[in-house]
């Protein structure tokens, strides 16, 4: 092995002197390895001199092969001579075989990616794992050369180190190299280098986020980060790298070729619509662009004006002032037109100078809904109209949050039901203007006829009216639902004798022509706004056919298809007041102390103060200090008169008093006439009579013998002293009907006998008492 120094055995070991092997050098023989032999012709020494290293015959007969001796087969000629006879000599040769040492080049594959963003020396040393003669390679003893061309910007040095001269783009690179022994140039071995490059430079990082407050700055912990947005690095219209925002909204580009004019485009994967871009980025090899954040400023949300919920499936486009759609080059990819998803969001980013219709100078642009989803009115919102005129983004006079973007609402979400925010459909935009965001556009749902949530109220402008008067009614239809209700009918049912005045009806201030059928006034095709009201007014005239008293006017909402009522009735009551002189019958009267029980007020019989009389309508009238009462306009009799009933409330009489006249009393009254009606009452002797079953025959139910005589004696005792008989039947084991029959029989007997002997009106009170 020529790689290391080697000492070989004695060359004379197999030589002989006088047939004796291995003669001793110095005492037996002499050894000569150079010059010319005794024969004068044979050259002593090596036949070939090694290119490197040496082979030496030592004085003791050993052969030394020096380290680094070139591999090969060498012949060394030497001569031995007898010491005693110096001319007794002989020559021989020693052949030395020098072999090349083992050389091994091992593949190089770094476990971790390497960053080659900048020119780098000593990326790795390919010799670090290579072996020569089972030992680590000494760079001084070998040569290193690539096999084939190296990748761009790579340099393999003679000491085995690998350098780069410029940025190496991201990727996986491989090349072959070989190592050869310097002493033995053909003693070579090859291996492969493979490494993954992830260059940190150029480096562009940022976050995709929802700019909640519209200030254009990413505020960690406050702004909502957006995961899964596609982010493209574009140069001259060609996508160089693509990535997706992570769970924290972050993205990163690195290791691309430096150049000028890069653009980053952000796209909502769900819709395929680009939502923003950063352009005109000049990137050098050592450029680090941090915080290239993209605020996703949804220019607004298309939402349901009734519920506030985002609307999916609405198609919106941007036009010029004349209504002509802008060409797609004027906007980011996928924005013209665009259809809303479940979020209802839309966004337009104008590229000034992209086409003549989108110049860099201030220009008017408009938004137009071209496709309305099913269930929505195919027109701009009537419930929440857009602001008039155009919005100048430069001044942004309606900025909800001053500074940063021009925000028409402080929130990026759709407004709650019933709380719309301002919005525009026309804008003046110029290069450098702030973004116009939170421009939330409402769509009106198609009205429906709900089964609940509707109510109606009705009021009149007066509480009383006379014949010939005009009454104005206001009907308010209310809708508590989040969706407009309609079309439906409002039906007004007039009281008898009330007549609608043509041309007087208005609905929310606009004239309407109702359908009139008898006393039903119907206004058709009424729509009541969501969480709102519709107000109907109309006038009616009180005709001579109207009856005096409370006249109830009823209104309701009705389903025009089924005819079913959709609300409870709203009622307004107007009291029709009669003309006393011509229409009424007045009642006067007195409640008096009928001392003689004859039913008439005689001289000396005063009135009873504080007594109450009651009409059949429940009107209560209390007598004055003289016992007098008056029932004004008590009745509106028909042409031939009417009966009027009045009752004395016995509970209002002084203690011990009993009615001596008919109660209640009925009299005939005539229009325009006064009638008189008196009630008598007096203190009476009360005689209690208790009856039991023993007072009657068990078989016939007739009074027992002697009953008539007892009655005669009783009547004789009260003949001259006005009294009240109070009959009480004590019921034990009989049926109620039997007891009632017996009481009626006794009362009949009493009255028959009294007619023959009595001098005043006898009051008889009956009652049945159960005995346990």
Q: What is the pLDDT of residues 497-547, one digit of tens each?
A: 999 999 999 999 999 999 999 999 999 999 998 888 999 999 999 987 888
DSSP designation for 746: H
Q: Which residues of 615-629 are buried (b: 16+ CB within 10 A; e: fewer)?
A: beeeeebebeeebeb
- Confidence grade of residue 295 (pLDDT, cut at 50, 70, 90): very low
Q: Residue 351 CA to chain centroid, in angstroms? A: 32
Q: Which residues contact 360 (CB under 8 A, 6 or more apart)?
A: 352, 353, 430, 431
Provide the pLDDT for residue 94: 95
Provide the pLDDT for residue 214: 62
Contact present, 405 and 437 (Cβ < 8 Å): yes
pLDDT tens readout for residues 663-673:
899 888 877 67
Query: Measured between alpha carbons, how far is 63 from 47 in angstroms, rounded to an integer?
Result: 15
Provide the pLDDT for residue 292: 57
pLDDT tens readout for residues 709-729:
888 888 888 887 778 888 898
Contact present, 286 and 241 (Cβ < 8 Å): no
Query: Measured between alpha carbons, how far is 572 from 552 in angstroms, rounded to an integer?
Result: 6
pLDDT tens readout for residues 317-348:
999 999 999 998 888 888 889 999 999 999 89
Q: Residue 301 CA to chain centroid, in angstroms? A: 12
pLDDT at 676 over 80: yes
Contact present, 165 and 155 (Cβ < 8 Å): yes
Provide the pLDDT for residue 674: 80
Provide the pLDDT for residue 640: 60
pLDDT tens readout for residues 740-765:
999 999 999 999 988 888 877 788 88
Q: Which residues contact 655 (CB under 8 A, 6 or more apart)?
A: none
pLDDT at 414 over 70: yes
Q: Residue 239 belongs to what H/E stretch?
A: strand 238-244
Q: Residue 456 CA to chain centroid, in angstroms? A: 32
Query: Measured between alpha carbons, how far is 403 from 393 in angstroms, rounded to an integer?
Result: 12
3-state secondary structure of 693: helix
Q: What are phi and psi of 512, to 5 degrees?
A: -135, 155
CA dihedral 305→309→313→317, nearest 10 degrees, is 60
pLDDT at 685 over 80: no
DSSP designation for 288: E
Provide the pLDDT for residue 352: 80
Percentage of the chain modeled with pLDDT above 70: 95
Q: Stretch 626-650: mean pLDDT, rounded? A: 78
User: What tokens appear for 386 in the block?
Assistant: 């857009």
pLDDT tens readout for residues 616-633:
888 899 999 999 998 877
pLDDT at 297 over 70: no
Contact present, 242 and 287 (Cβ < 8 Å): no
pLDDT tens readout for residues 360-403:
888 999 999 999 999 899 999 988 899 999 999 999 998 888 87
DSSP labels, 321-346:
TTSPBPPGGGB-TT-SSEE--TT-EE
pLDDT tens readout for residues 249-292:
889 888 788 888 898 988 888 778 777 788 788 887 666 665 55
Query: Measured between alpha carbons, how far is 320 from 657 in angstroms, rounded to an integer?
Result: 98
The burial class, CB within 10 Å (0-12 / 13-18 / 19+), for 381 is middle
Start-to-end C-alpha separation, the chain = 144
Kind of pairing, strands 6-8 and 63-65?
Answer: antiparallel
Question: ω into residue 74 within 30 of 0, thus cis?
Answer: no
Contact present, 427 and 366 (Cβ < 8 Å): yes
Neighbours of 499 (CB within 10 A): 16
- Dihedral sign for Cα 185, 186, 189, 192, please: positive
DSSP labels, 367-400:
EEEEEPPTTB-SSS-SSSPPPSS-EETTT-TT-S
CA dihedral 588→591→595→600, nearest 10 degrees, is 30
Query: Measured between alpha carbons, how far is 381 from 304 in angstroms, rounded to an integer?
Result: 10
For the ranges 4-8, 219-223, 305-309, 588-592, the lowest mean pLDDT is seen at 219-223
pLDDT tens readout for residues 22-51:
999 999 999 999 999 999 999 999 999 999
Contact present, 420 and 306 (Cβ < 8 Å): no
pLDDT at 144 over 80: yes
Provide the pLDDT for residue 156: 96
Q: Stretch 124-151: mean pLDDT, rounded? A: 94
State the maximum Cα–Cα separation within the chain, in Å, rounded to a whole number. 213
Average pLDDT in the chain: 88
Specify the pTM. Answer: 0.44
Provide the pLDDT for residue 108: 96
Provide the pLDDT for residue 598: 84
Contact present, 627 and 652 (Cβ < 8 Å): no
pLDDT at 296 over 50: no
């Amino acid at each position: 092995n020529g790689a290391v120094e080697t000492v070989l055995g004695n060359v004379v070991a197999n030589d002989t002197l006088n047939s004796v092997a291995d003669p001793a050098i110095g005492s037996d023989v002499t050894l000569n390895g150079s010059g010319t032999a005794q024969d004068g012709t044979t050259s002593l020494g090596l036949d070939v001199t090694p290119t490197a290293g040496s082979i030496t015959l030592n004085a003791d007969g050993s052969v030394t092969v020096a380290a680094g001796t070139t591999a090969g087969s060498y012949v060394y000629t030497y001569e031995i001579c007898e010491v005693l006879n110096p001319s007794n000599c002989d020559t021989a040769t020693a052949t030395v075989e020098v072999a090349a040492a083992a050389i091994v080049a091992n593949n190089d594959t770094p476990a971790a990616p390497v960053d080659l963003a900048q020119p780098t020396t000593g990326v790795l040393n390919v010799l670090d794992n290579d072996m020569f003669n089972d030992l680590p390679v000494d760079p001084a003893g070998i040569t290193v050369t690539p096999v084939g061309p190296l990748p761009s910007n790579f340099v393999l040095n003679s000491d085995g180190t690998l350098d780069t001269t410029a940025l190496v783009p991201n990727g996986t690179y491989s090349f072959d190299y070989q190592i050869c022994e310097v002493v033995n140039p053909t003693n070579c071995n090859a291996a492969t280098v493979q490494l993954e490059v992830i260059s940190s430079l150029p480096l562009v990082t940022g976050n995709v986020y929802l700019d909640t407050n519209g200030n254009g700055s990413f505020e960690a912990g406050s702004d909502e980060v957006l995961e899964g947005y596609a982010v493209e690095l574009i140069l001259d219209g060609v996508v160089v790298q693509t990535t997706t925002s992570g769970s924290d909204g972050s993205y990163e580009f690195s290791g691309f070729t430096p150049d000028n004019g890069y653009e980053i485009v952000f796209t909502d994967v769900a819709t395929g619509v680009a939502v923003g871009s950063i352009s005109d980025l000049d990137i050098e090899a050592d450029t680090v662009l941090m915080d290239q954040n993209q605020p996703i400023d949804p220019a607004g949300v298309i939402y349901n004006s009734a519920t506030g919920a985002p609307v999916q499936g609405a198609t919106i486009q941007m036009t010029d002032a004349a209504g002509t759609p802008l060409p797609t080059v004027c906007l980011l990819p996928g924005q013209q037109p665009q259809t809303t998803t479940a979020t209802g969001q839309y966004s337009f980013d104008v590229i000034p100078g992209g086409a003549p219709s989108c110049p860099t100078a201030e220009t008017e642009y408009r938004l137009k809904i071209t496709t309305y989803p099913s269930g929505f009115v195919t027109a701009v919102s009537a419930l929440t109209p857009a602001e008039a005129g155009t919005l100048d983004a430069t001044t942004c006079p309606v900025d909800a949050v001053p500074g940063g973007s021009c925000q028409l609402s402080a929130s990026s979400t759709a407004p709650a039901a019933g709380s719309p925010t301002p919005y525009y459909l026309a804008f003046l935009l110029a290069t450098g203007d702030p973004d116009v965001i939170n421009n939330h556009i409402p769509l009106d749902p198609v009205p429906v006829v709900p089964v609940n949530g509707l109510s109606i109220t009705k009021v009149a402008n007066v509480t009383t009216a006379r014949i010939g008067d005009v009454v104005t009614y206001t009907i308010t239809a209310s809708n508590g639902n989040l969706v407009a209700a309609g079309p439906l009918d409002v039906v007004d049912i007039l009281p008898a004798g009330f007549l609608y005045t043509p041309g007087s009806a208005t609905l929310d201030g606009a004239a309407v022509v109702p359908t009139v059928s008898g006393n039903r006034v119907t206004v058709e095709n009424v729509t009541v706004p969501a969480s709102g009201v519709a107000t109907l007014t109309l006038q009616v005239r009180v005709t001579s056919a109207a009856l005096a008293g409370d006249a109830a006017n009823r209104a309701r909402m009705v389903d025009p298809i089924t005819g079913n009522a959709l609300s409870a009735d709203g009622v307004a009551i107007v009291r029709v007041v009669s003309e006393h002189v011509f229409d009424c019958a007045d009642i006067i009267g007195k409640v008096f102390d009928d001392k003689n029980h004859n039913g008439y007020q005689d001289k000396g019989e005063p009135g009873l103060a504080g007594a109450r009389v009651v009409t059949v309508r429940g009107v209560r009238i209390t007598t004055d200090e003289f016992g007098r009462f008056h029932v004004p306009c008590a009745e509106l009799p028909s042409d031939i008169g009417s009966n009027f009933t009045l009752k004395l409330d016995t509970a209002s009489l002084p203690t011990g008093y009993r009615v001596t006249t008919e109660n209640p009393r009925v009299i005939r009254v005539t229009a325009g006439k006064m009638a008189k009606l008196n009630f008598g009452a007096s203190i009476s002797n009360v005689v209690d009579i208790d009856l039991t079953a023993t007072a009657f025959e068990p078989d016939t139910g007739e009074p027992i013998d002697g009953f008539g005589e007892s009655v005669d004696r009783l009547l004789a005792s009260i003949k001259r002293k006005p009294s009240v008989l109070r009959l009480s039947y004590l019921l034990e084991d009989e049926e109620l009907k039997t007891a009632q029959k017996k009481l009626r029989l006794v009362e009949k007997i009493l009255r028959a006998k009294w007619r023959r002997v009595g001098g005043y009106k006898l009051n008889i009170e009956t009652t049945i008492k159960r005995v346990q």
